Structure 1
Amino acid sequence: MKITTYIPTAQLKPFIKDYKIIESQYDTTNQVVPNASFALAFRLSGQISYINNDRSVDLPNIALSGLRKSVRFIHYKKNSGTLIVSFSEQGLSAFFRQPLYDLFEQTVPLDHYIPPATLALVEERLAEMSNNQLRIACMEEFLISILINRTPDLLVTEAIHKIHSTRGNIRIKELAAALCISQDAFEKRFRKVTGASPKQFSQIIKMNAIVHQPNPASLLDLVFENGYYDQPHFNRDFKLFTGQTPTDFFKSPSFW
């Protein structure tokens, strides 16, 4: 499997983390752990599916995926390719007015949000492009055309910063108080922008910090450092997030 990453232009950088073009010459399954970004996938060639309870489910040609708390296994058939747009943590709200929280743990066809005729033109143009750089340029042109809100929610921006600074180990009541807003109002505002509750978002940040660190010397230390009171609870959350036990995962982590 070949994964090539492209950086967005300055105009889209506040909203887009990066673009990835994934090309697979052989049948392969990729392990995708959750992160705090929406993802938009355009299938360029072949057939791509995800494994759900040992059942293969074909992905739509153009799919929008919300935030997740559980690992996902994506299967690429031989000679498959896809272009993935990874949004910044508030980025998707700049393109759509619809509520984003309904997308938590969901993957839906993009034509739920964009007219099918518009998407058909984008697919046609992508198919005509002779190289990946031109495909990225085509994608950026499409994204700029649907950009509706260039102003981030500064309160949510500050909340995200505080969650990251604590590696997700933060009480939501204390976070709302620090931002001088009621907890109920804060949670509604946060969900609207990020597509997850503050608690769900913090858990994703916490688990990402755990799985991206070097092989820990002591799993028990890892448990208590991250606010868990016992290892079985930690193990359950870890396996949900990665699909593996901590011991197996840290032997040879393989994900993106």
Structure 2
Amino acid sequence: MSPSLFTPSERTAPFVQSAQIFSPSGPLAPFVSSIIVAEGGPEMTRTLLPLSGIVLGIGFRGSATQIDERSEHVLPNALIQGMGSLARRIRGSANGGSVLVTFSEVGAAQFFKGPLHELFNAFQPLDDLVPRAEVDRLSARLAEAGTLEARAALVEQFLSLRLSAKAPDPMVVAAVRAIRMAQGSLRMGALARSLHISQDALEKRFRRIVGTTPKHFASILRLRQVIDAYHPGASLSDLSLDAGYFDQSHFHREFRHVTGDAPRRFFASEDYF
């Protein structure tokens, strides 16, 4: 397990007292992009934008609340965040502590059984997919651990015990690779033909393992490319064209649909991940 310091943005720096990113090695490396351990800081609200993979979250201190337009509800301490099409606002309690595991596109299916598209736009309690006793034991050990490194190691051990010996579906792996190489800019019919499979059959296999359709996955890649490249003063027109959007209005429509706000206004006012 290789650690690296987590460098928060200027918006997040005051809110995180201690955080670190760990990159798993060995058998976990192809399926787990990162393990982020964070703790400390005052109460804060962040916007979670759609990611290109499923996320596992485990809180070992404090609580997290999802904030909707008309309601709020406390999230389970251990949960799976499915693929999504909309931003989600989450408020974390003061002096909290959590571990976030970001999976590669096909990674989550190596640890959790069942069709992952059923988690779309949802937070699913982890004990719906893993025996409650295992979840409770992991949560307790994370709370007792004394360092960020020790907590990351506990999560890595938990994942190692659940890792499937069966290789991921090669058809889905090839589809993900093709969509990434095209930066999300390709037609799904052409993709299916290149893989010698019908578009319907490809979509079913893709949804079950990745957690969303190939078309939506491609749209997430385009949007994330702009978000991850953005910095104050950047040209959104250039960034959106580089990401494969047809024009500025195409990008603005998609961004507003996901976040509910115009890009410039969102980037200026939101703390996001």
TM-score w.r.t. the length of structure 1 is 0.91
Distance 2:111 2:237 in 1: 41
1:71 shift after superposition: 1.1
1:208 shift after superposition: 0.9
Which residue number corresponds to residue 114 of structure 1? 130
Residue type matched to 1:248 in 2? R
Distance 2:32 2:243 in 1: 32
Q: Is 1:236 paired with 2:236? A: no
SS of corresponding position for 2:26 = coil
Residue type matched to 2:133 in 1? A
Q: Is the 8 A contact 2:50 2:83 kept in 1?
A: yes
1:154 shift after superposition: 2.1
Residue type matched to 2:127 in 1? D
Which residue number corresponds to residue 132 of structure 1? 148
Which residue number corresponds to residue 158 of structure 1? 174
Distance 2:226 2:139 in 1: 38
Which residue number corresponds to residue 222 of structure 1? 240
Which residue number corresponds to residue 47 of structure 1? 63
Q: Is 1:61 paired with 2:77? A: yes
SS of corresponding position for 1:190 = helix
- 1:5-16 matched pairs, under 5 angstroms: 5-16=21-32
1:243 shift after superposition: 4.3
RMSD: 2.2
The alpha-carbon distance between structure 1 residues 181 and 9, as it changes in their structure 2 partners (threshold 3 A), is same
Q: Is the 8 A contact 1:24 1:76 kept in 2?
A: no
Q: Is the 8 A contact 2:59 2:98 kept in 1?
A: yes
Q: Is the 8 A contact 1:46 1:80 kept in 2?
A: yes
1:100 shift after superposition: 0.6
Aligned length: 255
Which residue number corresponds to residue 228 of structure 2? 212
Which residue number corresponds to residue 201 of structure 1? 217
Q: Is the 8 A contact 2:63 2:96 kept in 1?
A: yes
Distance 1:225 1:19 in 2: 27
The alpha-carbon distance between structure 1 residues 112 and 254, as it changes in their structure 2 partners (threshold 3 A), is same
- The Cα offsets for residues 104-160 of structure 1, whole Å up to 9 and x where unpaired, read as 111110111111112111122212211111111111111111112341222212211
Match of 1:175 among 144, 167, 191: 191
1:177 shift after superposition: 0.7
1:201 shift after superposition: 0.7
Match of 2:45 among 29, 53, 74: 29
1:54 shift after superposition: 4.6
Q: Is the 8 A contact 1:5 1:20 kept in 2?
A: yes
Which residue number corresponds to residue 245 of structure 1? 262
Task: Point out the more displaced range, 245-254 or 193-202.
Answer: 245-254
Q: Is the 8 A contact 2:47 2:270 kept in 1?
A: no
Which residue number corresponds to residue 3 of structure 2? none
The alpha-carbon distance between structure 1 residues 25 and 217, as it changes in their structure 2 partners (threshold 3 A), is closer
Task: Point out the more displaced range, 237-246 or 95-104.
Answer: 237-246
Residue type matched to 1:140 in 2? E
- The Cα offsets for residues 173-207 of structure 1, whole Å up to 9 and x where unpaired, read as 01101111111111111111101111111111111
Which residue number corresponds to residue 112 of structure 2? 96
Distance 1:56 1:242 in 2: 18
The alpha-carbon distance between structure 1 residues 99 and 218, as it changes in their structure 2 partners (threshold 3 A), is closer
Structure 2: stretches of 5+ with no match in the other structure: 1-14
The alpha-carbon distance between structure 1 residues 33 and 168, as it changes in their structure 2 partners (threshold 3 A), is same
Structure 1: stretches of 5+ with no match in the other structure: none
Distance 2:209 2:111 in 1: 11
TM-score w.r.t. the length of structure 2 is 0.85
